[in-house]
Structure 1
C-alpha cells in the first residue's frame, strides 16, 4: 500500500510531532508499505530556515529510504499574524509539492496546523483517494482555552474550517482517548470514521543504559542528581513551575536540566538568571539518541503542563521517553497523562503549577533511590507492553482495514 504524508513538521526538526511521524513512517516501511512525504523546509522551533536549506523554493531528498519533497514557507515562531502566515504559506506551497509525488492509496495529513486539511482535500480530489486527518491537538479549542486568540471572526472561521475538515476527511485519527471522546461526543465525528493511534516510543532507541560518564564530564554533571526535561519549551508547558521548584530544593547536588527549544525558552532563561538559579541548565536541542545518553545520567524525567481543561486529554510524548529509559516521571499536570503515570505506577504526580508539590516529589525520589528504581522499571515494562510502535501501527492498520470495503483492504 502507498501512503502520502502531508505535514508541516518533519525531521531534521526536533519535536514531538516530528518524532512521532518519523516512527510511524519507519514502521510502515518495515511492514512493506511505500511512503512519500510532502513537508516544509525545516524551521521549527527556531523560526529560521535551517542551514543547508536556505534560498530554496523546493527540493527533494532521501530520508531513510523515503522520498521527501520539501517546499518553501514563511518561517516564524510563537503566535500572532506571522505564525498564521507561516501556516498559510505552507498550505499553498505544499500544493506544488503534491504535483511531484506519485498517486497514493491514502493521504495522511498531520494537524495542527488545521489549514492543511484544505490542501489534503484538494490532493484527495486530484488523486481520487481518501485522506486521513490526524488530530494531534484540538485546534482551535487549544488557542481559545490558552487565550492565544481572541473571540471574533478569525476564531469563528477556524471553527467552521474544523467542522468542514472532519466532514471531508474519510478517516479522523485521534492520538489520545480524550481527543477521541471529544471528537465523537462534542464534534460529532461519526464513529465509523474514527481511528485511534496513540503516541508510542521506540523502545530500542530509548532504553536503559549505563551512566554516560563522558557526557557527565562534558556537561559538568559529575556527581549531580539530574532531573531531566527533554522537549519543547512552549507556553502550554508552563515551565515556570520547574524553575520555582528548583529554587525550593534543599539538596545542592540536584540539577534541573532542560534540553530543547521553543518560544518560551528565552524568557525562561532570563527568569532563571533573575532568580539566581545555579542548579538549572539549559541545553540546545539534540536528536533522540542523545536524549538516551542524558537519561542515563538522570534520576527522573520531568513533564509539566499549565492548569487548563485543555490538557485533560493530553499525553505528552516526553513522558514515554523517560519511561522507556526506565526513569521515573515527575508529572506536573492533570488529566489523561497524569492518569497514565498513576495507573502504570511509573512516577509521581503533582497538581499543575504547584511548585511546592513538585519540589517535594523531586526530593522524595532523591531521598528514596529504591522507589525511583521501582517506578522506573514499572514504566519500562509498561511501554514495552503497550506503547511500542510495532504494536500500535499494526493495530491502527487493522482499524483502517476494517473501515474499508473488502476490495480496498490493506495487507498487514
Structure 2
C-alpha cells in the first residue's frame, strides 16, 4: 500500500449532484492507485434527507462495506438543505466546529485533501493545522464568498473585507491547490499576486460509466440536476414555455430549492411537451442525457456564475449530447471553440431557442456536434487519464 490520505468533504456518495460524484470518484481512484483513503463527511441529505431513508441509493457494495470504517459521517443538528440561507450558515458553522473537533481525534496522515465549497471545511482544516507533517491539498470547485454574495439572498457585504482576507489566507495555507476550472487559477493567482502552478482536475467520467445509448427518435431537450439560487429559474421557465410552443419535447430531471417553482409553472400553464421526472441515480441520469439531442445549463447572469464549469455540462459532453447554455468565461469558450453546442454569456431566451431549432432542423450539424463531444470527452474528461496529475503530487508515492 502507498500513503494514507484523508479526504474532507461536505458531499459524498450516495448523494446526488456533481460534488458528491466527484468525491466518490476521487475516493475510488485513490483506492485503485494503491492509496488508503479515509473520508470525513456528513450523513447524506442532498437534495433531501427523505431520498436516502430506504437506502435505495446505497447501491455500491464496496463503499457500503467501508461505512464507519473508512467512511466517517458526522451527525449534525442543523439542516444542510434548509431553504433559509441564514440557517444554512448555522449549519456550516456547526460543521466547521465538529470537523475541527474530529480532526483532533485522528492520527497523522501523509496527505490531507479538503474540498470547497463549503469554505468552512477548508478553514477548519487549514487554519491552525494539527498535523504539521502532512501535505495539504485544497480543492476549489467554486469561488467563495463571491458566489455567496452573488446569490443576493442574504446580505454579508458588511463582513466582505474580512471574508476576502480569510479566503486569501486559505489559499496561502494550502501546499497545493486543485481546481476544476482553469479560470479559478487565474483568479487565485491575481488575488495572491503570484503565478503559482495548480492542479487542473476537471469533473469527468470514469471508464466504467461510459455510455453509448442511441438518441431517441423524437428530437428532445433535457435539463438535469439542481435548480437552486445559482440557476435562473425564470429563464428556464421561459425556455420551457418556448419549447412547448414549438412542440419540442423537454425532459426536466430536477431537484433543488427552486425546482417547485419550475414544476408549478409547467403544470399551471399546461405545458404538455415538458416532462417532469424525479431525481435519479447517476448511471440512469447519464443514460437519460445520452438519449436526448440537446442539454441545457442556465445560470444567473452574474460574473461569478458565468465563470464556473457546471457538472451538468461535463456530464452532457461525456454523454455525447450538445450543450446549450447562457454561460461565458472559459467554459463558454470551450463549448464554442470545440463546437460542442452553443454558449453565450447572458444569452437571451430567444437566442437559446433559435439555436435549439437550428440543431433540430440540421441533422448533419447535430451529428457533427455529437462526434466532437465524444472526441473531447476522450481527450480531456476521463478520470483514469487525468488522475495521475494529482497522484504525482502526493506524499508516500
The TM-score normalised by the length of structure 1 is 0.85
Q: What CA RMSD, in Å, does the superposition of the two structures yield over aligned residues? A: 2.7
Report what 2:73 is aligned to: 70
TM alignment of 1:259-338, pairs within 5 A: 259-338=253-332
* Compared CA separation, residues 189 and 312, structure 1 to 2 (3 A): farther
Q: Are the aligned partners of 1:299 and 1:327 in contact in 2 as well (CA < 8 Å)? A: yes
Report what 1:26 is aligned to: 28
* Compared CA separation, residues 363 and 275, structure 1 to 2 (3 A): same
Aligned-pair CA distance for 1:98: 3.4
Aligned-pair CA distance for 1:72: 1.2
* Compared CA separation, residues 369 and 117, structure 1 to 2 (3 A): same
Query: Which residue, 155, 163, 168 being the options, matches 2:160?
Result: 155
Aligned partners of 2:219 and 2:69: how far apart in 1? 41
Report what 1:177 is aligned to: 182
Report what 1:115 is aligned to: 120
Which residues of structure 2 form unaligned runs of 5+?
Answer: 56-62
Query: Which residue, 223, 226, 230 being the options, matches 1:236?
Result: 230
Report what 2:383 is aligned to: 389
Aligned-pair CA distance for 1:135: 1.1
Report what 1:349 is aligned to: 343
Which residues of structure 1 form unaligned runs of 5+?
Answer: 54-59, 213-222, 402-407
Aligned residue for 2:296, secondary structure, equals: strand
Aligned-pair CA distance for 1:358: 1.1
Aligned-pair CA distance for 1:386: 1.4
Q: Are the aligned partners of 1:167 and 1:189 in contact in 2 as well (CA < 8 Å)? A: no
Aligned-pair CA distance for 1:367: 1.4
TM alignment of 1:127-146, pairs within 5 A: 128-146=133-151
Aligned residue for 1:236, secondary structure, equals: coil
Aligned-pair CA distance for 1:297: 2.6
Deviations 1:27-79 (A, max 9, x none): 221111110000001112226684269xxxxxx96359982000112213245
Aligned partners of 2:50 and 2:68: how far apart in 1? 26
Deviations 1:227-246 (A, max 9, x none): 11122111212133232123
Aligned-pair CA distance for 1:394: 0.8
Q: Does 1:200 align with 2:194?
A: no
* Compared CA separation, residues 270 and 320, structure 1 to 2 (3 A): same
Aligned-pair CA distance for 1:390: 1.6
The TM-score normalised by the length of structure 2 is 0.88
Q: Are the aligned partners of 1:327 and 1:373 in contact in 2 as well (CA < 8 Å)? A: no
Aligned partners of 1:114 and 1:123: how far apart in 2? 15
Deviations 1:271-317 (A, max 9, x none): 32343322222222212110132124311222122211113421111
Aligned partners of 1:304 and 1:286: how far apart in 2? 20
Number of positions where the alignment pairs a residue of Structure 1 with one of Structure 2: 386
